[in-house]
Amino acid sequence: MTALRPAPALLEAAFEAAREAMVLCTADRVVVMANEAARHLLPSARPGSPAPAPLPADGADSFQAEHEGRQLYGMRRELDDGHHAWFLRDHTEELARTTALEVERSRTAFLAEAGRRLSASLHMRRCVRTAVELAATHLADAAIVVLPPERRQSAWTRLLPGLPVEEGTLREPQLGEVPGLLEALGGFPPIPSRWLDPSQAPGWLVPAGFGPVGALLVIPLPGNAEPAGALILARCGPAAVFTSEDEVLARIFAARAGAAVSAAVLYREQVDTTAILQADLLPPELPEPEGFELTGAYQAAREGLRIGGDFYDVFGPAGASTDTVIALGDVCGTGPEAAVLTGKVRQTLRALRLVHTEPAAMLTVLNEALLQQSSRQPRFVTMVIGSVHRIDHGRVQLELASGGHPAPLVLRHDGSVEEVPTSGTLIGVLPRTVVRPATVELAPGELCLLYSDGLTEARGGPTGTEQFGEGRLHQALSECRGMPGAVAVERIRQLVSDWVRGGDSDDIAMLAVRAPTRTPLSLRGGGAPAQSPYVIAARRGDRRPRNF
């Protein structure tokens, strides 16, 4: 088998050709042999010379070191009593790749966090605060967002790590003091950091404790076809720089922050517009007329806007009439379309009230008015109109007229509940309406409730599909005997809410008129309360609390 034993020259050639760098040394660290790969890494490893650095002299069996700009890793193996070998690896590229990967990973994590947090809120101020928080944590020593000027003032938000977020406004001329800021707010492409002279930054840009600004970066926040603002990043210290990688990352971040801020701007514009439109459609603040209590409650259908097809309104004494006119109705359908018709009906009533005071007459004229307006879809209203005034002995008289609406209920002082005998046809459908008005009188403590059918038709209960129904409403109202109007209405709202148990319900409107009792309400069995120094002529005449 001798033919298979390789010649020393052959072994030497194989050693020389190996891709792994190998250095053969004697026990006293003299190089015996180094192959080509080893000589490439350690040119001074020549036979006969002492083992060069970074091969360790202390007998360690491995090392990791930087040598002439390369990352070297070596392992020592004992070959025989007098010799050992070093096997060397060049980790330079691998390390560079790992570092690049880590940088990339932390950027991805940062951008993912930025996306998630920036998309959380549609509120402008919160979005801007989130943007400076993210930027000050990941991109720079100080982050400032400046919004485009509005009425010659620009709002700014600033954050330095360890300090609370600061907010303020700048006058428009001051914007020009920050290098690159006018360009960023003017929609020009971002200017590289190296062209911005940090020494030109005005003193107000960062607090005094920050020290001189070493590097400055000003980036536009892209928005709805115009910048949503500008992001200013500053690093402190004379050696500070923004590398081109830093700038790229900051621009990507700015794009996301800009998108979030401009979405918030759009949302705010929409909210402002809607609020103006809604203001006339939402239930009115009720007056506190002399001689009777008025309580209203309105609950919009769960889905959609907080406005819908049910409404109530109250018109105080006007012109020659001293009566208060109340109205509660239900426009067919829900949502904005119904709300718009609701607004028309309420406006018409407001005007009508100045010429007519009889509820039945008001319904008839309203019917004509609605028939005359052209509409793509037939729209009708059911409603109750009432004219309320005080009569003698604390009693209250209501004249009520219904146009196809559920009859109002009256709660008597003995707890019985009556339906007011008024009826009539729908409003806005037929050229001729038939309205039968009715008059009711309320003694002190008695209450008249106008309501929309959303109340009785609310589905829920033990089966989840049963209607609340008139029976339950009568029962619930009967249990409100002795309660102030506001308490009674709140209690019925609560009972219906418990009934539907969070399920969908239609709009619900309620309006209660109550003849007040003289205080105290004798709900309590016992005698009069002990007089205290704090009760100072508590029961003077008709005085009622009116400030709230």
- Contact positions toward another protein, by CB under 8 A? 116-117, 120-126, 130, 267-268, 271, 302, 306, 461-465, 475, 479-484, 486-487, 490-491, 494, 497-498, 501-502, 519-524, 529-530, 532, 534-536, 538-539, 543-545, 547-548
d(CA 29, CA 25): 6
d(CA 71, CA 64): 7
- Closer to another protein by Cβ: residue 458 or 480: 480
- Closer to another protein by Cβ: residue 238 or 502: 502
Cβ 88 vs Cβ 20: under 8 Å: yes
Q: Which residues pair with 475 in a beta bridge?
A: none
Token code pair at residue 515? 């003849």
d(CA 384, CA 349): 12
The distance of closest approach from Cβ of residue 440 to another protein in the complex, given in angstroms and rounded to an integer, is 23
| SS3 category, 273 | helix
- Closer to another protein by Cβ: residue 372 or 465: 465
Cβ 352 vs Cβ 370: under 8 Å: no
d(CA 209, CA 119): 33
The distance of closest approach from Cβ of residue 504 to another protein in the complex, given in angstroms and rounded to an integer, is 11
- Closer to another protein by Cβ: residue 151 or 540: 540
Strand 381-390 with 409-411, pairing: unpaired
- Closer to another protein by Cβ: residue 393 or 546: 546
- Closer to another protein by Cβ: residue 179 or 516: 516
> Closest Cα partner for 299 from 73, 137, 531, 500?
500
Contacts of 62 (CB under 8 A, 6+ apart): 73, 74, 75, 76
The distance of closest approach from Cβ of residue 22 to another protein in the complex, given in angstroms and rounded to an integer, is 49
The distance of closest approach from Cβ of residue 170 to another protein in the complex, given in angstroms and rounded to an integer, is 21
Residue type, 81: D
- Closer to another protein by Cβ: residue 167 or 172: 167
Token code pair at residue 354? 């100045």
- Closer to another protein by Cβ: residue 348 or 467: 467
The distance of closest approach from Cβ of residue 136 to another protein in the complex, given in angstroms and rounded to an integer, is 14
- Closer to another protein by Cβ: residue 121 or 174: 121
Angstrom CA distances, 465 to 303, 452, 460, 468, 473, stand at 18, 19, 5, 9, 17
The distance of closest approach from Cβ of residue 463 to another protein in the complex, given in angstroms and rounded to an integer, is 4
The distance of closest approach from Cβ of residue 123 to another protein in the complex, given in angstroms and rounded to an integer, is 3
* Strands lying side by side in the sheet with 70-80: 31-34, 21-26, 83-90, 70-80, 62-67
From the centroid of its chain, how far is CA 502? Answer: 22
Cis peptide leading into residue 529 (ω within 30°):
no
The distance of closest approach from Cβ of residue 257 to another protein in the complex, given in angstroms and rounded to an integer, is 14
The distance of closest approach from Cβ of residue 295 to another protein in the complex, given in angstroms and rounded to an integer, is 11
